[in-house]
Chains A and B, each alone.
Chain A
Amino acid sequence: MIGISNIIFLIVAAIGIGLFVWQIRKIRKNVLMGRDLVLEDNPSERINKTLLVAFGQQKMFKRMLPAILHLFVYVGFLVINIEVLEILIDGIFGTHRVLGFMGPFYDGLMAVNEVLAALVIVACAIFLWRRNVTKVPRLATGVEMRAWPKMDANIILMIEIILMFALFAFNIADLKLAELKGHELAGAFPVSSMFVNAFGADAGMLATIASVGWWIHIIGILAFMNYLPSSKHFHIIMAFPNVYFSKLVPKGKMTTNPAITHEIKAMLDPSYQPPAPEVDAEGNPVIQRFGAKDIEDLTWKQMMDAYTCTECGRCTSVCPANITGKLLSPRKIIMDTRDRMEEKGEHPAIFKPNHYKEMGVERVETTEEKTLLRGYITPEELWACTTCNACVESCPVNIDQLSTIMDLRRYLVLEESAAPASLNAMFTNIENNGAPWAFPASDRFNWADELYLPSKN
């Protein structure tokens, strides 16, 4: 029974999926602008972490209410994918509820789906309320939370509600239609059956409603999928690889630059032979910046972090600098990275770039420079960081905001010698006295002078 509608469906689905693949390739290209980094150690630990943090939502549960609401939407998303599969098959082959042959399993699946769909509507409504009415501070405030990030969040929530309503319209009409024709409809519909008389008893009308509901749902899903790469909602895909590639070593361990190690070893020991520098395709030595000034100085993982960010602001809300009114917002660092990446690379969006900066008044004074540092992120923000790792700890999708902050700081110090004067004084003290304070090394043992030791009586 393949008719004209199936061919239309096939074309729509192909366009939707094709467009999505095209956008993903652009994002991949952007991420790969970053420096090379090998993160292939301990696959079993990485899988464990992914199961716990990404699939298991472990870190979401630091805040109960949003965790539970998010869980509804998340599980709803996972389960509904099975139904999307059915919709695709039905759409292509003109079948109707093709998975219905699974009997009780299908009944259960449909029932769970309906309950979840209802919970998704409830959760999204509460989310809208929290964002627009009660204005939860971390979602409503912050220099980076401007017109676009706020609109983006609202668009996502509205689309999700519309998608669920379309699904219910389809189910209710289908259910009533089956009832009128006197045959059993495969599946169980605990929610729709409550509203079975909502659309009257006109068979033609019901068929139209079912069809419209079905089309809105599937076109909505395809459109929404293509909206993701331009939106913070992209986290529903990126959270999984990002958690897989997250930092496995203690949070306190910061990267060591081997190029500097060779330089120092050669300085301390003239006979030391540093390894030959890396060469590019033309045989010229690759000269890398110390630290990061712009996008290409960051690693691909730091770029991936930027695409994974959900802009939930948990990092910023626990940042001691931010709490006490300083300019630093870890969320802004990550959003800036994404914006700069899309400015320098490609826009994944097919309709509108994701630049939060383009919609709203600038509230952090940046320079005209077209680099991540100074053009987006100012030294004042960077110097406010206490490297306490609260942002890293709080991120539900294991973004490492601190590594980006540190790399930008390193550039300021190593390439520009642009540290605050007091820090330069501290550097000098360490160089001259072996201590950050101006005390002579010979005084180091003075603490023992006043020591009363019974054993040395």
Chain B
Amino acid sequence: MAEMAANGQEPEVLFWVGCAGSFDDRYKRVTRAFVQILEHVGVKYAVLGTEESCTGDPAKRAGNEFLFQMQALTNIEVLNGYNIKKIVTACPHCFNTIKNEYPDLGGNYEVIHHSTFLQQLINDGKVHVQGGEAFKGKRITYHDSCYLGRANDIYEAPRDVLAALDADLVEMKRSRANGLCCGAGGAQMFKEAEPGRKEINIERTEEALATLGAEGVIATACPFCMVMMNDGVKNKEQEQNVKVFDIAELIAQAEGLTK
């Protein structure tokens, strides 16, 4: 972004990568897949790179309002400094925080989650999903992210994106507004779960496995969900049969951008 600004240019959209997208080895693949889609369709985009910082979501949900606002105010200063108007992100937590909580602190942007962004690209015919046949007959179940679904009422966009793949979409018993949390939200990602009978991600993975049958794909649209579902699948020793992918990866694959 700094480079673009130095050249006196402004991006159409800023891709907010997020901490998971920057540091988590698995989610870096999603970041790359999404960037490849952006390149493919020729959108003029930018990333903040090392100037990006945590939105403050985990701090806020853990109750640390002070740290959250420190992060938010600093980020807003950077974003406003570059005159950013439109932001796209592959993380529902970043999406929710920037979209809903930054305006109170002086950060007003058009914030789009990558599921909505991808849906628009497909609707506009910019992404054709030519290799979609590869998914024909494959069972895919979409796991709703709480921060996309219940928190922001985005249920259809990721499903529409998956529908473009011509795969066999199956719904879990608890889906959409009744979806079950992966167990990582509200800063749970960063701590041990409280004592109980079971881990939440195991409960959810069992539900996904029961829906998919012998093999298939669990589609996610959130880095936390991806980690939790992957852990669950490994815990059930099903990683050979059931894969967890982000919707951006599936689109990039279908479009022949990644292998």
A residues apposed to B, CB below 8 Å: 62, 249-254, 256-257, 260-261, 263-265, 268, 290-291, 318, 320-321, 323-328, 380, 383-390, 392-393, 406, 409-414, 419-420, 422-423, 425-427, 430-431, 434-437, 439, 441-448, 450-455
Contacts and interface: CB of A to CB of B under 8 A. Distances in A.
A141 B23 CA distance: 43
Contacts of A386: 146, 181, 183-186, 188, 200
Contact of A393 (B73, B150, B197): B150
Contacts of B73: 261, 264-265, 268
Contacts of B178: 62, 318, 390, 393
B191 A422 contact: yes
Contacts of B195: 326-327
A250 B100 contact: yes
Given A386-B181, A387-B185, A447-B21, 11 more contacts: A263-B66, A264-B70, A291-B63, A384-B194, A390-B146, A392-B150, A419-B63, A419-B64, A426-B187, A435-B22, A448-B32
Interface string B1-31: 0000000000000000101011110001001
A447 B21 CA distance: 8
B63 A453 contact: no
Contact of B181 (A388, A420, A425): A388
A260 B191 contact: no
Interface stretch (B54-62, B123-131, B156-164): B54-62
A260 B53 contact: no
Contacts, number: 221
A427 B186 CA distance: 14
A442 B50 contact: yes
A34 B105 CA distance: 25
B23 A419 contact: no
Contacts of B23: 435, 437, 439, 443-444
11 contacts: A264-B69, A318-B178, A320-B204, A321-B200, A324-B200, A325-B198, A383-B191, A384-B194, A388-B186, A436-B189, A437-B24
A249 B187 contact: no
B199 interface: yes
B193 A384 contact: yes
A422 B32 contact: no
Main secondary structure of the interface of B (DSSP, over half): helix
Contacts of B71: 430, 434
B96 interface: yes
Given A268-B73, A326-B195, A387 B186 contact: yes
Contacts of B28: 446-447, 450
Contacts of B54: 430, 434-436
Contact of B101 (A256, A264, A388, A441): A256
B190 A436 contact: yes
A108 B211 CA distance: 50
A423 B150 contact: no
Contact of A389 (B49, B146, B198): B146
Contacts of A425: 190
A35 to B, nearest CB: 15
